[in-house]
């Protein structure tokens, strides 16, 4: 579960968030709005990467983040990028098996031993998604996770994400009404620093 209560944030004289309320508890909430409206700032505050100027931030449990641009470890293979976030108590064999299963679901089984420099932007995005899904997190913060995918792959990856994120607390930042409808139980709009339904 995560929650923002009356959270405000400014950068210099620009007020980005003005007393917003946002909560997800075992559901997927989509957050939409124009570019620069503060969606990513809200996500970064939940993740603890940005400090709110005011209000209360609650994030219970482990949180995984998928950034708009994949942040993969360049010197690690695809499978290593995924297994590195798994529980330490798992055996190496089990980690590899689960990672390969995820890659197969995301139509990337052939890329397991490739390196980030060898991947297309869409493939890198899928690795980033796979890594988050493999983390065993309770909360998931997804910033335009499907933006680099073509339509056919996007439909498949969205379906996998929906299935694997069932019962988790998820914030989906997106410009796509289709993604919001496919994944989220409700959609919020961020505009002028305020959230509306």
Tens digit of pLDDT for each residue in 133-168?
Answer: 999 999 999 999 999 999 889 999 999 999 999 999
Instruction: Using the predicted structure, report yes or no on whether residue 77 has a pLDDT greater than 90.
Output: yes
Report the DSSP pairing between strands 2-11 and 14-24: antiparallel
Query: How remote is the C-alpha of 7 from its chain's centroid?
Result: 20
Instruction: Using the predicted structure, report yes or no on whether residue 197 has a pLDDT greater than 80.
Output: no
pLDDT of amino acid 159: 96
Instruction: Using the predicted structure, report yes or no on whether residue 117 has a pLDDT greater than 90.
Output: yes
Q: What percent of the chain is modeled with pLDDT above 90?
A: 96
Three-state SS letters, the chain: CEEEEEEEEEECCEEEEEEEEEEECCCEEEEECCCCCCHHHHHHHHHCCCCCCEEEEEECCCEEEECCCCCCCCCCCHHHHHHCCCCCCCCHHHHHHHHHHHHHHCCCHHHCCCCHHHCCHHHHHHHHHHHHHHCCCCEEEEECCCCCCCHHHHHHHHHHHHHHCCCCEEEEECCCHHHHHHHCCEEEEEECCEEEC
Instruction: Using the predicted structure, report yes or no on whether residue 66 has a pLDDT greater than 90.
Output: yes
């Amino acid at each position: 579960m995560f929650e923002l209560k009356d959270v405000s944030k400014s950068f210099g004289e620009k007020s980005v968030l003005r007393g917003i309320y946002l909560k997800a508890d075992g559901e997927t909430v989509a957050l939409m709005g124009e570019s620069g409206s503060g969606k990513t700032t809200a996500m970064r505050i939940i993740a603890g990467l940005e400090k709110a100027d005011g209000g209360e931030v609650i994030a219970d449990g482990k949180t995984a983040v998928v950034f708009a641009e994949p942040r993969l470890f360049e010197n690690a293979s695809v499978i290593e990028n995924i297994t590195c976030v798994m529980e330490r108590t798992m055996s190496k064999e089990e980690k590899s098996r689960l990672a390969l299963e995820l890659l197969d679901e995301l139509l990337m089984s052939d890329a397991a031993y490739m390196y980030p420099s060898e991947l297309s932007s869409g493939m890198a995005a899928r690795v980033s998604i796979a890594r988050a899904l493999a983390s065993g997190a309770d909360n998931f913060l997804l910033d335009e996770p499907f933006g680099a995918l073509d339509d056919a792959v996007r439909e498949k990856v969205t379906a996998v994400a929906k299935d694997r994120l069932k019962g988790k607390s998820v914030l989906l930042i997106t410009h796509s009404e289709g993604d919001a409808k496919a994944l989220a139980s409700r959609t919020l709009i961020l505009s002028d620093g305020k959230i509306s339904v």
